[in-house]
């Protein structure tokens, strides 16, 4: 099997940070969305309890996702590499 | 704050459907065509339902004109995901065509089947339409609005003429057109109004009252004269 | 200690390294289905929903049925992957990846069904901009977003070591695999981090999955319609989802076992255990169905009975009884003795269950709408080619996504099998020893 051209380490790192940033944006976006809906329902005086109630469950869950992804990124990519070196 | 409601006297209703036609003319309700009607897609904000009593050996048929019952606890507004239908402070359940995404959840939730859908682009601009009522595009839900545009017009006229608005000036097309005067419309919150008085009649009943929707269209059951 | 390379692992990497004619034939066939679906939707987009068989009062039909059905299939991944992982069932190892991929791909298709069903898809952003949380559709949007995020994460994390293998062994796509592997080198520390993250996700994904299908059921049970406004809907739908999910997983396993020659990894014992799970779910499904209909029948409310009889003897009887046959009779006869012809029996049962569960969703959605409370003029719901095309296209799209995935990543988790070989035998022995009386096997 012929050796493929080596992949630039720098490029890989940049893309990995972008990958993480993308996850952060998605989860962050969802949280902002939910908060926006709470504000809308409060402004229109339309069953605020439903929005608040659901956000109390949904937002922490999304924050945990983000935490897990960060933890893996840190543990595997950053810390793991440091330890190996 | 007014609470607009309607009393329909089933003893007077002859099933002539003048209310249906008046409503369609007033609100630019499209004629969907024979093909679509065959497929069950007739849009009829005011619809006369026929009920044949099976227990009665005479097989008596009952005509029930059914507009949107403008519930005070509407099951349809609860389930709308985008605020396209809501109950305004005067008790009319409004429909915002520009917001509706056509998910038809409100149609599935309404126990009276009062909501209709534009399965195709039925409406087109044409002469003779009522300029006060907007045309609905395909893919949105529509329903009876108690001719809310007439209320707005009456209020604006009163404002322009610098006088108080008189609730008697606001009459939906169906109530106006009924030749038997079976439909009485007015402010239920005003105990002196005719509609409030009739609503207190011993003959008064509400459709599917047990569901708790608190409809504001109250029916008067047939009296002794009709042999029931 | 570097893990010994097993030559059989080449089988798992073969689909990624090479592409045979079978793949192209499959893609061609699936593309035809997708084309049919695309044509159907194009017609619907221009003409409106009038091109379907929907009408007043049956405003919901195939699309909503498909929505519930596809979201139901997605429970395959959660059950196998998460629950079996948490209960330390070792037989899950070759199956987890397949299950997780089903979940991720099918959620897209399921959510897409609602978009197809909208009268104004150009306004779908209104749900995000002006959403109302009192509406079960918003609960759906939130819960499905959470489930999608959780499933994608739960698919990706256990893939990292496998992606590292691809990065090191495969010649092509080096950049893609290097980025996604996050610099994995297999150190003990990295393994600990990953295992902990996977464990957290496994615990989290189960309640989210249960909430997803409960919330899908609430779309129906939160209305006042006869046969919909029932408290059993939440658990009923979840059980049905797990049921159809396992069946979907089995069919997928059998297809890819044949196509990629995975007999070495997917053995009859795996199908036997899955078959037993399927049998349990069939009995559970029957129990819920029985409880639901008995309650309706005993109460004999006129509105409910109209719908009840329409299903038992009325216009919907073929679909209802086909459903009972497919979901209960056939599985019970196939799955009670799985010693011989395991794969064949389990395949027949699974195909029947997939059809049966689709029918069950149909039987829930359409009859209730067909018999409104008021004396409304009734119509008969007859789906058109548009709805059939959309269904075919959706299935084709799901299959295509899945197939493309197998071309990029191994469909059986290589490192989990290695872990099973190297650590699990000892671990399980110790575990069993700890159950037995005495101090034997107690971890010091």
| Tens-place pLDDT, residues A30-72 | 999 999 999 999 998 888 998 999 999 999 999 999 999 999 9
CA distance A9 to B160: 76
The first and second tokens of residue C14, run together, are 């073969």
Per-residue pLDDT at C378: 77
Question: Is the CB of A41 inside 8 Å of chain C's CB atoms?
Answer: yes
Q: Is the peptide bond before C57 cis (omega within 30 degrees of 0)?
A: yes
Q: Residues of A with CB below 8 A from B83's CB?
A: 44, 46
B115 CA to chain A: closest CA distance, Å?
22
Q: What single-letter DSSP state applies at residue C59?
A: -
Cα first-last separation, chain C:
24
- In sequence order, the β-bridge partners of residue B95 are B85
Domain residue limits, chain C: 10-120+133-417
Contact B66 C374 (CB under 8 A): yes
State the angle between helix axes of C302-312 and C268-299 in degrees (0 to 180), rounded to the nearest 10: 140
Q: What is the pLDDT of residues C194-211, one digit of tens each?
A: 999 999 999 999 999 999
Among candidates C322, C303, C240, which has minimal Cα distance to C71?
C240
Q: Residues of B with CB below 8 A from C369's CB?
A: 108
Per-residue pLDDT at B124: 86
Question: Is the CB of A7 inside 8 Å of chain C's CB atoms?
Answer: yes
Contact C133 A26 (CB under 8 A): no
Residue B17 region by backbone torsions, left for phi larger than 0, else alpha for psi between -120 and 50, else beta: left
Contact of C125 with C131, CB cutoff 8 Å: no
C333 CA to chain B: closest CA distance, Å?
38
Per-residue pLDDT at A82: 62
Residue of chain B whose Cα is closest to the Cα of C136: B79
C298 CA to chain B: closest CA distance, Å?
20
For residue C372, give the nearest of B104, B113, B211 by CB distance: B113
Chain B: partners with 3+ C-beta pairs within 8 Å:
A, C
Q: What single-letter DSSP state applies at residue B130?
A: -
Q: pTM value?
A: 0.93
* Nearest-5° Cα angle at A12, A19 to A77: 70
Per-residue pLDDT at C1: 41
Chain A: partners with 3+ C-beta pairs within 8 Å:
B, C
Per-residue pLDDT at B228: 45
C232 CA to chain A: closest CA distance, Å?
22
Chain C: partners with 3+ C-beta pairs within 8 Å:
A, B
Q: What is the pLDDT of residues B58-96, one digit of tens each?
A: 667 889 999 999 999 999 999 999 999 999 999 999 999
Q: Residues of B with CB below 8 A from A46's CB?
A: 83, 86
CA dist A2 → C18, C169, C171, C172, C193 (Å): 16, 12, 8, 11, 34
Per-residue pLDDT at C6: 67
CA distance B78 to B56: 38
- The upper half-sphere exposure of residue C37, i.e. CA atoms within 13 Å in the direction of its Cβ, equals 20
Domain residue limits, chain A: 21-84
Q: Does A2 have pLDDT greater than 60?
A: no
Q: Residues of A with CB below 8 A from B86's CB?
A: 46
CA dist B93 → A49, B88, B142 (Å): 22, 6, 11
The set of residues, in sequence order, having a beta carbon less than 8 Å from that of C262 and lying 6+ positions away, is C11, C12, C94, C256, C411, C412
Which residues of chain C carry a pLDDT beneath 50?
A: 1-2, 444
B153 CA to chain A: closest CA distance, Å?
26
Among candidates B164, B70, B178, which has minimal Cα distance to B114?
B70
Q: Residues of A with CB below 8 A from C130's CB?
A: 40
Q: Which CATH number fits domain C10-120+133-417: 1.20.1630.10, 1.20.950.20, 3.40.1390.20, 3.40.50.300?
A: 1.20.1630.10
Alpha helices in B80-140 (DSSP H): 105-109
Question: Is the CB of A45 inside 8 Å of chain C's CB atoms?
Answer: no
A19 CA to chain C: closest CA distance, Å?
8
Question: Is the CB of B38 inside 8 Å of chain C's CB atoms?
Answer: no
Q: What count of CB pairs under 8 Å joins A to C?
A: 109
The first and second tokens of residue B23, run together, are 């409503």
The first and second tokens of residue C68, run together, are 């519930």
Per-residue pLDDT at B226: 54
- In sequence order, the β-bridge partners of residue C401 are none
Contact C131 A40 (CB under 8 A): yes
Q: Is residue B221 classed as helix, strand or coil in its secondary structure?
A: coil
Q: Kindly state the helix (H) or strand (E) to which residue C317 belongs, with its residue range.
A: helix C317-324
Per-residue pLDDT at C359: 97
């Amino acid at each position: 099997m012929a050796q493929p051209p080596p992949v630039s380490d720098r490029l890989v790192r940049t893309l990995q940070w972008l990958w993480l940033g993308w996850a952060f944006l998605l989860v962050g976006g969802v949280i902002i969305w939910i908060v926006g809906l709470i504000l809308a329902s409060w402004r229109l005086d339309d069953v605020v309890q439903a929005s608040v109630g659901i956000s109390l469950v949904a937002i922490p869950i999304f924050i945990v996702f983000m935490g897990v992804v960060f933890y893996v990124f840190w543990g595997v990519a950053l810390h793991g590499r440091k330890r190996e070196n | 704050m007014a609470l607009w409601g309607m009393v329909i006297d089933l003893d007077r209703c002859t099933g002539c459907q003048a209310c249906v036609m008046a409503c369609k003319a007033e609100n630019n309700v499209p004629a969907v065509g024979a093909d679509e009607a065959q497929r069950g897609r007739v849009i009829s904000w005011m619809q006369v339902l026929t009920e044949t009593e099976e227990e009665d050996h005479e097989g008596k048929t009952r005509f029930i004109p059914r507009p949107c019952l403008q519930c005070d606890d509407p099951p349809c507004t609860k389930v709308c995901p985008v605020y396209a239908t809501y109950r305004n402070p005067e008790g009319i359940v409004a429909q915002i065509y520009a917001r509706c995404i056509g998910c038809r959840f409100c149609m599935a939730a309404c126990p009276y089947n009062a909501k209709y859908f534009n399965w195709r682009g039925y409406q087109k601009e044409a002469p003779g339409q009522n300029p006060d009522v907007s045309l609905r595009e395909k893919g949105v839900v529509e329903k009876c609005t108690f001719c809310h545009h007439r209320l707005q017009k009456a209020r604006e006229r009163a404002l322009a003429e610098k006088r108080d608005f008189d609730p008697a000036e606001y009459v939906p097309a169906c109530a106006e057109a009924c030749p038997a005067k079976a439909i009485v419309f007015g402010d239920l919150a005003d105990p002196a109004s005719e509609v409030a008085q009739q609503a207190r009649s011993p003959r008064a009943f509400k459709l599917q009252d047990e569901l708790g929707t608190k409809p504001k269209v109250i029916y008067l059951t047939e009296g002794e004269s009709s042999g029931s | 200690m570097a893990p010994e390379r097993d030559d059989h692992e080449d089988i798992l990497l073969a689909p990624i390294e090479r592409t045979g004619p079978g793949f192209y034939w499959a893609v061609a066939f699936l593309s035809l289905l997708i084309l049919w679906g695309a044509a159907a939707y194009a017609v619907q987009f221009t003409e409106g929903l009038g091109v379907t068989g929907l009408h007043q009062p049956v405003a919901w039909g195939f699309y909503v049925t498909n929505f519930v059905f596809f979201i139901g299939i997605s429970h395959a991944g959660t059950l196998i992957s998460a629950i079996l992982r948490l209960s330390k069932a070792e037989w899950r190892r070759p199956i987890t990846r397949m299950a997780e991929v089903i979940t991720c791909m099918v959620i897209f298709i399921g959510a897409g069904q609602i978009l197809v069903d909208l009268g104004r898809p150009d306004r779908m952003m209104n749900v995000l901009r002006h959403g109302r949380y009192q509406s079960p559709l918003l609960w759906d949007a939130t819960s499905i977003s959470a489930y999608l995020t959780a499933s994608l994460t739960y698919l990706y994390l256990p893939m990292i070591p496998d992606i590292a293998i691809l990065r090191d062994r495969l010649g092509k796509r080096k950049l893609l695999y290097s980025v996604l592997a996050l610099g994995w080198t297999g150190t003990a520390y990295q393994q600990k981090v990953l295992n902990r993250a996977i464990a957290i996700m496994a615990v989290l994904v189960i309640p989210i999955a249960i909430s997803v299908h409960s919330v899908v059921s609430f779309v129906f049970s939160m209305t006042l319609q006869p046969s919909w406004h029932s408290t059993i809907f939440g658990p009923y739908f979840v059980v049905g989802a797990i049921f159809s999910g396992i069946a979907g997983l089995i069919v997928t396993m059998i297809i890819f076992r044949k196509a990629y020659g995975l007999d070495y990894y997917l053995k009859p014992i795996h199908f036997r255990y899955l078959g037993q799970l399927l049998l349990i779910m069939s009995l559970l499904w029957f129990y819920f169905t029985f409880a639901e209909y008995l309650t309706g029948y005993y109460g004999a409310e006129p509105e409910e009975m109209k719908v009840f009889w329409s299903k038992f003897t009325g216009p919907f009887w073929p679909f209802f009884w086909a459903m009972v046959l497919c979901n209960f009779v056939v599985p019970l006869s196939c799955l009670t003795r799985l010693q011989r012809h395991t794969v064949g029996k389990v395949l027949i049962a699974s195909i029947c269950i997939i059809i049966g569960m689709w029918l069950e969703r149909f039987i829930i959605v359409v009859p209730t709408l067909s018999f409104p409370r008021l004396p409304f003029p009734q119509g008969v719901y007859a789906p058109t080619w548009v709805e059939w095309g959309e269904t075919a296209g959706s299935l084709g799209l799901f299959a295509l996504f899945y197939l493309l995935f197998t071309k990029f990543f191994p469909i059986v988790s290589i490192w989990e099998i290695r872990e099973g070989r190297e650590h699990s035998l000892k671990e399980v022995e110790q575990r069993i020893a700890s159950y037995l009386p005495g101090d034997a096997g107690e971890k010091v």
